[in-house]
Amino acid sequence: MSPRKPPPMRASLSRLLLLGSLLPGLLVSFNLNAQSNPNSIAEYRPITDQMLENPAQEDWLMWRGSYDLSGHSRLSQINRSNVADLELAWSVPLSQGGNMTTPLVHDGVLFIADTNNILRAIDASDGTQLWQYQHESENFDGRRIGVAIQGNRLIVPHNDMDLVALDARSGEVLWELSIETPPNPEQRGYFSLRGAPLIAGDTIVQGIGATVTPQGGFIVGVDLETGVEKWRFHTVARPDGIGGNTWNNLALEDRSGGSVWISGSYDPELDLVYFGTAPTYDTAPLLNDLGIEGINNDALFTNTTLALQPGTGELVWFYQHMRNDQWDLDWVYERQLAEVSIDGQPRKIVFTAGKMALYDVLDAATGQYLNSVDVGFQNMITAIDPITGDKTRHPNTIPNAELSAVLCPSFLGGRNWQSAAYNDSHKMTYLPMSEMCMNFGPIGEGTLLTTGVEFSFAARPDSDGNYGRIQAIDMNTMELAWSTRHQSPPSTAILSTGGNLLFAGFLDQTFQAIDNETGAVLWKTDLQHLPSSFPISFAVDGKQYVAIVRGQPSRWIGNLYGTMNDFLADQGGLPVPSAEPALMVFALP
């Protein structure tokens, strides 16, 4: 868990040519030390803690723009009155492969984690490449959500479990940490670094994705300066620790899950970071309670919000949203922070929704349950305790090989990794949704998780042929506001802006600007490929830009595309992608 000596930055020409032959469409003109616009780098200022806590509106300094994960830009040059004039300003080709990346921007320099372990630094005003780094690894899994920056350091995760610090001005490797993982002699599942790192003070907090791996996921704290691991928190309870009795007496090596593949949020005043965890996929051993006193099958810390002290990894509080999840109904997604009025008093909250598109609202300091907001799509939860938030499940949610029922949502989720946006000025949350259900029982076409229940996808019982939805929620009243329906679901996160606009990409390959008070579509463009990422907005020399990655669809987007194509076959199906992957950047003329 000590950092390795930095490897040489330049890969051999023969290796790069071999890579290009194995990965068609990959841009092979690497030019690793290009400095075609040195002024962009020369004007780059080191990023301070104060900048991270109060980002300049021109910048996009972290995964969702700010520590509260709002996905909101205060920029207002592009607004309702002129967004119809939005046009492509510049674009940059990207590599082939699955991804879900988020560009970061500071002082006119844009950083983007491309697939195939490539990191690009780009002039944010015109797309000119400034430098490029490629991590030397045999693992080309590019599914990364983003990177992090602080000072002159750019922190880049890779799915071979290497965390690398680069000099943001040059791409030079400063240190490299190989994160150690538990023994896996049977090669069950895999570990990954998909979520963007979170920098809190002098600590990098990185979640570890863990898919069916022994002992499950974890979160690490890494020293920002040296790259040395400082602490580790395990998201699958140890037999002798908190929640150790919640795994049906399974041995540690037989426990798995708690994957942490979405980045966390941070409250500097409380000095707490908030992370969510996924369920376990090995559900069969947890299906039935053993009936032993003091032992249960809740499976902590799956589907849980964890509040940790970033400097030490101390667990300050936790809240489990869904016990013993048998349907892969993830609660791993963004933990958004806000201050709202509750009973006439200002209160800091952390709020999040799992795949059921059911929000839980918690006190950010203590984890006390405050409220839930159900957007009205799911049919699995029949009641929620107003004091504890404990959820009563419909009997049909118990996997049964002989019973047939329609459950909403499907395991792909009413919502998934496409993050909601939160506009603090309006106290409004905007959630992108996919409205698709599943039949389960002996008529199924496939099996789900190790419980082995059969399932097939289904339209919601009252479907009108629209499978996408944008839902606005008033966080002051915690009531639903407007919603709009779309034939194809949103396939990106939502970006909110000070111009009273929302931006989102859809499965029909369109990128749309939406009025944040009515949901009306004010502008859209055909990207000619699937968007599957997190849009951002930034400004250079007083000009506002909106950026989105097209192409590089994630596995989830691929699954959703295939399923929606079947459902919409009578209407001609979804358009076939016709363009190469690229970063697309839009601005006013």
Q: What is the pLDDT of residues 229-264, one digit of tens each?
A: 999 999 999 999 999 999 999 999 999 999 999 999
pLDDT at residue number 31: 33
Which two tokens mark 241?
């620790």
Q: Is the model's pLDDT at 533 over the cut of 90?
A: yes
**pLDDT tens-place string over residues 353-367:** 999 999 999 999 999
Q: Is the model's pLDDT at 15 over the cut of 80?
A: no
Q: Is the model's pLDDT at 157 over the cut of 80?
A: yes
Q: Is the model's pLDDT at 32 over the cut of 70?
A: no
Contact 197, 147 (CB under 8 A): yes
Lowest average pLDDT, out of 101-115, 132-146, 211-225, 465-479, goes to 132-146
Q: Is the model's pLDDT at 177 over the cut of 70?
A: yes
Residue 393 lies in a domain: no
Q: Is the model's pLDDT at 39 over the cut of 70?
A: no
Contact 514, 504 (CB under 8 A): yes
Rounded CA-CA distance 380/388 in Å is: 18
Q: Is the model's pLDDT at 338 over the cut of 70?
A: yes
Q: Is the model's pLDDT at 3 over the cut of 60?
A: no
Burial 486-517 (b: 16+ CB within 10 A, else e): bbbbbbbbbbbbbbbbbbbbbbbbbbbbbbbe
Residue 187 lies in a domain: no
Q: Is the model's pLDDT at 28 over the cut of 50?
A: no
Q: In what order do the strands lie in the sheet with 109-113?
A: 104-106, 109-113, 118-123, 129-134
Q: Is the model's pLDDT at 24 over the cut of 70?
A: no
Which two tokens mark 248?
């049906």
pLDDT at residue number 129: 96
Residue 213 lies in a domain: no
Q: Is the model's pLDDT at 372 over the cut of 60?
A: yes
Q: What angle do CA 195, 197, 200 make, to 5 degrees?
A: 140
**pLDDT tens-place string over residues 375-404:** 999 999 999 999 999 999 999 898 887 788
Question: What is the pLDDT confidence band of residue 349, given thresholds at 50, 70 and 90?
Answer: very high
pLDDT at residue number 265: 98
Residue 164 lies in a domain: yes
**What range does the domain containing 125 cover?**
1-60+112-144+146-178
Rounded CA-CA distance 280/217 in Å is: 10
Residue 47 lies in a domain: yes
Q: Is the model's pLDDT at 140 over the cut of 80?
A: no
Residue 3 lies in a domain: yes
pLDDT at residue number 401: 74
pLDDT at residue number 9: 34
Question: What is the pLDDT confidence band of residue 280, given thresholds at 50, 70 and 90?
Answer: very high
| Residue type present at position 151 | G
Residue 274 lies in a domain: no
pLDDT at residue number 238: 98
Question: What is the pLDDT confidence band of residue 268, given thresholds at 50, 70 and 90?
Answer: very high
Give the count of domains, the chain.
1
Q: Is the model's pLDDT at 434 over the cut of 60?
A: yes
CATH number at residue 40: 2.40.10.480
CA separation (Å) from 504 to 67, 128, 331, 519, 532?
Answer: 21, 25, 22, 12, 10
Mean of the pLDDT values across residues 527-552? 97
Closest CA to 84 of 524, 434, 486: 524
Residue 467 lies in a domain: no
- Percent of the chain scoring above 70 in pLDDT: 92
Within 310-464, strands assigned E span 315-320, 336-342, 345-353, 358-363, 369-374, 381-384, 391-393, 405-407, 421-423, 428-434, 437-440, 446-448, 453-458
- Between 405 and 271, residue with greater pLDDT: 271
- Between 59 and 136, residue with greater pLDDT: 59
Those residues whose C-beta lies under 8 Å from the C-beta of residue 231, and which sit 6 or more positions away, are: 220, 221, 312, 313
**pLDDT tens-place string over residues 71-86:** 999 999 999 999 999 9
The predicted model scores a pTM of 0.93
User: What are 479's strand-pairing partners?
Assistant: 474
Lowest average pLDDT, out of 315-319, 416-420, 449-453, 497-501, goes to 449-453
Mean of the pLDDT values across residues 535-561? 96
pLDDT at residue number 168: 97
pLDDT at residue number 519: 98
pLDDT at residue number 444: 60
Q: Is the model's pLDDT at 2 over the cut of 60?
A: no
